[in-house]
């Protein structure tokens, strides 16, 4: 295989795989194959998804579906910017948007098609050629993680239906049998408010309020209309206010993203690819371009200077 070619079955997020291994080992060390070492997300944002498949296949054979479905419960204790960005979402629907961008950002071979409504989401797992079809262990991992993330971002009374067996979130670890060909599942909850949280009217500069709003969740795919609604303004009124302040929505969004990227780079808390994702970029090239435009240096150069 040429040095820079993509593995045939795609990539997996190093941070999420490390979370899975840690959770499995806490439950029972025998759930993880011997000799497994996960690289630091600081060194590599992704790993060959074949490693993920090997670990989860072993866990399924050793403990059944329950331990894999329960991995998502460890998100409450997770370190690192990616879990923090996912859990910062105001609603499960905002979290889903970030999850889908995470799959695209890391060129994941197996992905999700997700339909959402007020009371839940329907998830279908599919492969992006040349990756093989999604396996049961990976589908179980995604089901558990998405269900726990939904619960952490506003869902209540969350449950999961895995091909006809419906269980509340607290009982996922009790599931002992799932159909081997499972690729679709549903996550439901008590209805949640899909409207963005609206700030109370605050006298002062709308541009400053917008900057604070964007900075509070740089991992979100922000649109001017959504931001205006959160600020209790119409899009036209917000645009006029920004024009009067001699700025614009794109400029303030870039500032918020680059500022957060600089913080993460100085903290030495994650690899460059993970930082780009966590700051809301669609791909690494866009992150590099924006950061250099503002700072006149690449993220790597900035980290080298800031860490000196």
Residues 49, 127, 139, CA angle at the centre, nearest 5°? 65
Least confident of 35-44, 89-98, 183-192, 286-295: 35-44
Predicted pLDDT at 6: 40
Q: From the CA atom positions of the chain, what is the Rg in Å?
A: 20
Rounded-to-integer distance, Cα 137 and Cα 180, Å? 9
Average pLDDT, the chain: 88
**In the prediction, which pLDDT does 131 show?**
80
pLDDT score at 8: 39
Tell me: the pLDDT tens digits for 238-276? 999 999 999 999 999 999 999 999 999 998 768 888 899
3-state helix, strand, coil in the chain (%, to 5): 55, 15, 35
pLDDT one-digit tens code per residue, 123-153: 999 998 888 888 999 999 999 999 999 999 9
**This model's pTM is above 0.85:** yes
State the DSSP H helix or E strand holding residue 1, giving kind and residue range, or none if neither: none
Contact predicate 146/123, CB 8 Å = yes
As a whole number of angstroms, the distance between CA 37 and CA 155 comes to 34
Higher pLDDT, 307 or 236: 236
| Residue-level pLDDT at 37 | 86
170-220: per-residue pLDDT in tens?
999 999 999 999 999 999 998 776 565 555 555 568 999 999 999 999 999
Smallest Cα–Cα separation from 51: which of 66, 36, 63, 41? Answer: 36
Alpha-carbon distance of 19 to 75, in angstroms, equals: 8
Structural domains in the chain, CATH included, are: 11-190 (3.90.1520), 206-306 (1.10.10.60)
Task: Compute the residue count for the chain.
Answer: 308
pLDDT in tens, 43-84: 777 778 788 889 999 999 999 999 999 999 999 888 788 889
Give whole-number Cα distances, 81 to 85, 122, 163, 179, 231, in Å.
6, 27, 33, 34, 26
Q: Mean pLDDT across the stretch 153-168?
A: 93
pLDDT at residue 301 above 60? yes
**d(C-alpha 215, C-alpha 238), whole Å:** 17
**Residue 179 phi, psi (nearest 5):** -60, 135
Separation of alpha carbons 207 and 92, rounded Å: 28
Confidence check: pLDDT of 42 > 90: no
Residue-level pLDDT at 132: 82
């Amino acid at each position: 295989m040429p040095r820079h070619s993509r593995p045939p079955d795609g990539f997996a997020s190093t941070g999420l795989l490390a979370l899975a291994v840690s959770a499995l080992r806490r439950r029972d060390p025998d759930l993880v194959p011997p000799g497994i070492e996960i690289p630091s997300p600081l060194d590599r944002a992704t790993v060959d998804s074949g490693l993920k498949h090997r670990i989860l296949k072993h866990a399924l054979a050793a403990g059944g579906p329950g331990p894999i479905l329960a991995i998502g419960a460890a998100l409450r204790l997770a370190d690192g910017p990616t879990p923090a960005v996912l859990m910062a979402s105001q609603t499960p629907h905002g979290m889903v948007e970030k999850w889908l961008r995470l799959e695209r950002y890391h060129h994941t071979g197996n992905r999700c098609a997700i339909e959402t409504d007020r009371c839940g989401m329907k998830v279908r797992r599919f492969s992006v050629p040349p990756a093989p079809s999604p396996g049961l262990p990976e589908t179980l991992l995604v089901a558990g993680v998405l269900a726990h993330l939904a619960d952490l971002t506003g869902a209540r009374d969350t449950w999961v239906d895995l091909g006809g067996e419906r269980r509340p979130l607290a009982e996922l670890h009790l599931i002992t049998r799932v159909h081997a060909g499972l690729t679709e599942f549903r996550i439901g909850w008590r209805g949640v408010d899909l409207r963005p949280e609206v700030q109370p009217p605050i006298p002062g500069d709308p541009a400053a309020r917008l900057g604070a709003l964007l900075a509070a969740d740089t991992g979100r795919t922000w649109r001017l209309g959504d931001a205006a609604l959160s600020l209790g303004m119409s899009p036209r009124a917000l645009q006029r206010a920004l024009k009067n302040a001699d700025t614009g929505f794109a400029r303030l969004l870039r500032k918020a993203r680059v500022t957060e990227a600089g913080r993460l780079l100085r903290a030495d808390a994650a690899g460059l690819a993970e930082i780009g994702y966590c700051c809301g970029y669609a791909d690494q090239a866009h992150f590099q371009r924006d950061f250099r435009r503002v700072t006149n240096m690449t993220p790597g150069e900035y980290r080298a200077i800031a860490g000196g």
